[in-house]
Structure formats: C-alpha cells, structure tokens
C-alpha cells in the first residue's frame, strides 16, 4: 500500500493480470514492483476485508496500539468501516517484537482508536480479548487540518461520503 499521502491510497495486485503481463508475484510485491505492476484503486474499489493487519510501534495485551503518531491506521480503518469494507467483527492484528508489548496504562485508548484482537510476537500469539468498542467510522472532528493538507484525497473522500 502506498502511503495515504499519495494521490491514490492502494494498489491492487491481481495474480491473473500479473501472469498475463508476465510479472511474477514476488516481483510485483516489492515496494517498487507493486507501483509498476499494480492498478491504483480508491477506497470504494477495495473488496471487503475479512482480516486486517496494521503496523504498530507499541501494543498492550488489552488490544491498545499506537503507530508512528500520524493517525493513518485509525483513519484508514474508519474509512473502511464507513464504506462497509470492514465490519464490526473483522479481526485486527499486528506483528511486533515482544519488547513492544507495554503496560496497558502506557497506551490509552480513545473512542476513535481501533483495538487489536491479535498480537503476534516471536514468543507467541496474544489473543487480546479486547473489550474496547471499535469505532463505527471516521471521527471527522478528530481529523487535523494538516491531515487534509497532507492527504490529497481526504477532503474529496469526505465530500463523497457525505452525499
């Protein structure tokens, strides 16, 4: 996935299209290969997701998570929820080193935060059994003015969702 700061948020890699073009999946799955071989798609074009993996800097056994601080993961998940691409029961997981699992108090969860269901570390799988209520969509009041400036499609997407 390209960063949200690009003009399109995702790239679709279709194995049949790759094979027809003579591109092997391993090449297409590289950071340069997927942009050259894939087809840019918008949020609305995405298929329904039955499992989500997000990147994290720190996590808690209660399902709390924090990323690099840009709010991109929660924003993406909020958009997917508003569009019906992620449902209330869709599991959310991450992979981290066990040193990134911190005390629950170190990662406070806000209403717009999406909690983790599973955390995979080098020592095992943590089933968080989170009781944090997942947000229903984007908390547009929490979107910062600079996010509208740095995420080109966000303003247009909000207008489309409001229709």
- Domain extent listing, the chain: 10-41, 52-162
Separation of alpha carbons 101 and 111, rounded Å: 21
Residues 112 and 139: beta-carbon distance below 8 Å: yes
Structure tokens at 102: 């911190």
The pLDDT mean for the chain works out to 88
pTM of the model: 0.82
Does 62 have pLDDT greater than 70?
A: yes
Confidence at residue 128, expressed as pLDDT on a 0 to 100 scale: 98
pLDDT digits (tens, 9 = 90+) for 105-136: 999 998 888 999 999 999 999 999 999 999 98
Does 3 have pLDDT greater than 60?
A: no
Residues 39 and 11: beta-carbon distance below 8 Å: yes
Confidence at residue 141, expressed as pLDDT on a 0 to 100 scale: 85
Confidence at residue 2, expressed as pLDDT on a 0 to 100 scale: 41
Exposure b/e, 67-99, CB count within 10 A at least 16 = b: eeebbbbbbbbbbbbbbebbeeebebbbbbeee
């Amino acid at each position: 996935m390209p960063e949200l700061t690009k003009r399109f948020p995702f790239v679709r890699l279709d194995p049949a299209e790759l094979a027809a073009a003579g591109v092997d999946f391993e090449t297409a799955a590289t950071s340069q290969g997927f942009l050259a071989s894939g087809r840019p798609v918008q949020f609305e074009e995405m298929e329904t997701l039955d499992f989500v993996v997000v990147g994290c800097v720190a996590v808690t056994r209660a399902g709390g998570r924090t990323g690099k601080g840009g709010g991109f993961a929660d924003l993406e998940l909020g958009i997917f929820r508003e569009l019906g691409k992620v449902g209330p029961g869709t599991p959310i997981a991450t992979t981290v080193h066990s040193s990134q699992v911190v005390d629950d108090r170190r990662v406070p969860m806000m209403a717009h935060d999406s909690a983790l269901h599973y955390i995979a570390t080098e020592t095992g799988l943590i089933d968080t059994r989170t009781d944090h209520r997942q947000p229903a969509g984007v908390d547009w009041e929490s979107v910062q003015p600079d996010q509208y400036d740095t995420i080109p499609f966000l303003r247009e997407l909000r207008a489309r969702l409001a229709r």
